Chain A
């Protein structure tokens, strides 16, 4: 079955450490997204990519970095510059048509040790 796989499901970060969250899709979608979810705040866009080797900052990109070397993969790195990284991170994808819904992975929950 086609879908989006996020790993790991739970991740712990130490002070000063960078961590990378994996997102892989086999839906052949061009566009991929990273969102951060905090209680009561809905989803906030961190980065998005419309095509391989290209990506744009979202609303809260500071302290995060991404790459898009393959169509299937869009990893997110939470750097030590992100001072409040504790959140639920969701990866999504869709076709390049804006009238189509997004498909979501099951998320990675990141906590500080």
Chain B
């Protein structure tokens, strides 16, 4: 069965410091991994994805994520946080082997960037 874990409910970081939002996953086949961001009373916006290839994936707004197969992790990172990055972040996984339509979302991590 597929699953996604985001171990931190909230991450606090000072503006200008690097940030990391953690995600681990479990799938039977090849993982298709996604990060989304949600601002208050809005839908989710796609940030980046890992399908295959380079383990370091770059996405929107300066975010990047590192795929680690041995640790089954896909942590979201940004070298220098902005106050405007404060939002709710979701990691998601889909089983690439089955080509299924079902996406499993983590519970979300709230990022708070302090000025």
Cα distance A92–B34 in the bound complex, in angstroms: 15
Q: Does B8 contact A (CB under 8 A)?
A: no
- Total contacting residues, chain A, CB less than 8 A: 27
In the complex, are the beta carbons of A40 and B107 less than 8 A apart? yes
B: residues with CB less than 8 A from A are 9, 32, 34, 36, 41-46, 49, 51, 90, 94-96, 99-103, 105-108
Interface residues of A in 55-113 (CB under 8 A from B): 58, 90, 92, 96, 98-99, 101-107, 109
Which A residues contact B (CB, under 8 angstroms)? 4, 6, 9, 31, 33, 35, 40-43, 45, 48, 50, 58, 90, 92, 96, 98-99, 101-107, 109
Contact at B101–A98, with CB atoms within 8 Å?
A: yes
Given the known interface contacts A48-B101, A98-B94, A99-B49, the answer about A42 and B41 at a Cβ–Cβ threshold of 8 Å is no
